[in-house]
Structure 1
């Protein structure tokens, strides 16, 4: 069931999302060859707690031991931080969550480590563009399938596939709320928005 939020709750959620956005912005300056994802995790936790008086959203949830989830290169998402130094040409997907005012913020971003190959740049560009294609379909009266269809169709137009095992999701006082939003779908199908 999709939990409708009041305007006041949406504003509180915006504050949580801003904590996550600012944390990822701070991390963008730190992602470089030689840095470990464990280091990024430590500075992210301090930043969330000290700069924003917020709580890391993942740490302790589902037995997660870290503030960030960090996935390097072929790993899709939800990897744990390690002491392996990032290398020139790597990409690292960083998933960050925070709780402020009892509401979750949650966002992931894939960073380039130094200079990456042209085909990797293209993949990242298409992936980011597909996010905005999906967001344009997220409007009153549409269905979840409309969003997934738009994302899938866009990615496949560049000969890329989509990950079917993982989904986007709603947020609120819980990290995972309805609706689940897959990166694939059929127009007119799924929960109505």
Structure 2
């Protein structure tokens, strides 16, 4: 073979290697991009659902305040009310990470509110309500904490989604920082 043929053959092989390398890199990049897009899309859906569940739960707590102001629920309505509280508690619980610091806190507050409400109705049933104002204040404080913590939590998650969408990298184990942690844990 003449040197001219060798140069042609080497040029063809180099072009072939560059083409194959480009295809492999393109496939990997597309795969990663699809994965990040899928995770980001699912995270946005998760955030929307969690926001809806928490809004519905906090609205249901308002029914408790309305009953306190004189709009009494009938027995069958109370049963439906309790079932809805439990249903929402379970949905919220299953939507949150059982290991996450703020997820645990939200779940703890939701459970504590349910316990207070169920305890209050039980006390009313047996005409043993002695700390009415204290119970109302406690529930109100916990509901406000849920609202504050969840809005900050969802905001941090939203920032995380935006960053992932811009950079194309999923963050693992990123801590969510809230400024008034001691206040959040002083729930009694």
TM-score (norm: length of structure 1): 0.33
Structure label with greater radius of gyration: 2
More helix by share: 2
| RCO higher in structure (CA 8 A, sep ≥6) | 2
TM-score (norm: length of structure 2): 0.34
